[in-house]
């Protein structure tokens, strides 16, 4: 019974969230373009699907993904598991958290390789480069990039170093790569950063970061908990440009 009450609350909030899209379609289609809305029935049914689906997803998130990410973070950073003692550790030793880094890398790799928008981007990249960039090669490169990014992000949480230093270095690398990368790939590479972090990855990774920040001694979730997604959106840019440069260099060498 309580679930139904909770769910109807979420459903109501979802209707409010979708309202701007409805207004956008009605205003532009009827007032600006002055056309009838085509396939109105389909659109309405699709809209109902979207609202119900969104509400179900949000209800499930609270029950499954957030707790799951948190449980994993808590267990992997349990002092008894890491140091073999139940004594309270006041200072975190970053070398003891190997499993955390490995686990983070695996989450990053697995969720990225299955990401539908990345498959679409890889396909486009193959077209732009006239076949020099292979679809699979790019997907694996980006997945390794995300895996490395999230792993480095957990290292940052464990060691408590400031986030902006890492991002600043990342930006400098991106800028240097932009100078040398083939011009046709630049816009696509910039886009791929936003594309790889999707609806399922984001809550899971966020919960992992927040869970880690609350269990590692000396860390504060409000200061250190966020930032993993930032890593996951920066490294694909570097990976895509790097891959394009490598392929470019290979073809040039092959011609000589």
Partner 1 sequence: MGEVLFGSLLIVLGLTLFIQGLEMGLFPIGEAMAQALARKGSLFWLLAFAFALGFSTTVAEPALIAVAAKAADIAGRGGLIDPGVESLAQYAFGLRMSVAFSVGLAILIGVMRILRGWPIHYLIIGGYVLVMLMTIVAPKEIIGIAYDAGGVTTSTITVPLVAALGVGLASTIRGRSPLTDGFGLIAFASLLPMIFVMGYGLIVFR
Touching partner 1, residues 23-52 (CB under 8 A): 23-25, 27-29, 32-33, 35, 37-39, 42-52
Nearer to partner 1, 82 or 154 (CB): 154
Question: Using an 8 Å Cβ cutoff, are 127 and 182 in contact?
Answer: no
Q: How far is the CB of 147 from partner 1 (least distance, A)?
A: 15
Nearer to partner 1, 66 or 94 (CB): 66
253 CB burial (10 A radius; 0-12, 13-18, 19+): exposed
At 78, is the secondary structure helix, strand, or coil? coil
Touching partner 1, residues 131-170 (CB under 8 A): 163-164, 167-168
Q: Is 206 in the site for partner 1 (CB under 8 A)?
A: yes
CA distance 239 to 227: 19
Question: Using an 8 Å Cβ cutoff, are 233 and 197 in contact?
Answer: yes
Q: Is 184 in the site for partner 1 (CB under 8 A)?
A: yes
Q: How far is the CB of 220 from partner 1 (least distance, A)?
A: 7
Touching partner 1, residues 6-25 (CB under 8 A): 17-18, 20-21, 23-25
Helix (H) or strand (E) holding 103: helix 98-113
Instruction: Choose which of 212, 233, 238, 247 interacts with partner 1 (CB under 8 A).
Output: 233
Q: Is 253 in the site for partner 1 (CB under 8 A)?
A: no
Write each residue from 86 to 125 as x if it is in contact with partner 1 (CB under 8 A), else as -, in one continuous string: -------------------------------x------x-
Nearer to partner 1, 51 or 140 (CB): 51
Q: Is 61 in the site for partner 1 (CB under 8 A)?
A: yes
Residue 154: half-sphere exposure toward Cβ, Cα within 13 Å = 31
Question: Can you say how many angstroms the Cα of residue 246 is from the centroid of all Cα atoms in its chain?
Answer: 25
Instruction: Choose which of 100, 105, 122, 174 interacts with partner 1 (CB under 8 A).
Output: 174
Q: Is 128 in the site for partner 1 (CB under 8 A)?
A: yes
Select the span of 72-80, 87-95, 101-109, 222-230 touching partner 1 (CB under 8 A). Answer: 222-230
Question: Using an 8 Å Cβ cutoff, are 92 and 216 in contact?
Answer: yes
What's the angle, vertex CA 119, arms to CA 118 and CA 123, rounded to 5?
A: 110
Per the listing, tokens 């470019």 go with: 248
CA proximity to 183, closest of 250, 241, 255, 254: 241
């Amino acid at each position: 019974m309580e679930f139904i009450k909770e769910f109807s609350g979420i459903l109501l909030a979802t209707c409010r969230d979708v309202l701007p899209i409805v207004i956008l379609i009605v205003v532009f289609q009827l007032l600006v373009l002055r056309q009838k809305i085509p396939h109105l029935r389909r659109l309405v049914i699709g809209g109902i699907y979207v609202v119900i689906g969104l509400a179900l997803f949000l209800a499930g998130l609270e029950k499954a993904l957030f707790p799951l990410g948190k449980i994993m973070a808590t267990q992997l950073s349990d002092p008894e598991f890491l140091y073999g003692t139940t004594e309270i550790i006041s200072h975190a030793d970053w070398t003891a958290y190997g499993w955390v880094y490995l686990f983070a890398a695996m989450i990053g790799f697995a969720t990225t390789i299955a990401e539908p928008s990345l498959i679409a981007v890889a396909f486009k990249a193959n077209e732009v480069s006239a076949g020099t960039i292979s679809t699979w090669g790019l997907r694996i490169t980006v997945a390794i990039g995300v895996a490395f990014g999230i792993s480095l992000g957990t290292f940052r949480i464990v060691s408590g170093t400031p986030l902006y230093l890492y991002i600043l270095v990342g930006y400098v690398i991106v800028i240097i790569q932009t100078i040398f990368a083939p011009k046709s790939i630049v816009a696509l590479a910039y886009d791929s950063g936003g594309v790889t972090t999707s609806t399922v990855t984001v809550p899971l990774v966020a919960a992992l970061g927040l869970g880690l920040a609350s269990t590692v001694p000396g860390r504060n979730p409000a200061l250190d908990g966020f930032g993993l997604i930032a890593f996951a959106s920066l490294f694909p840019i570097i990976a895509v440009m790097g891959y394009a440069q490598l392929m470019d260099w290979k073809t040039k060498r092959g011609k000589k």
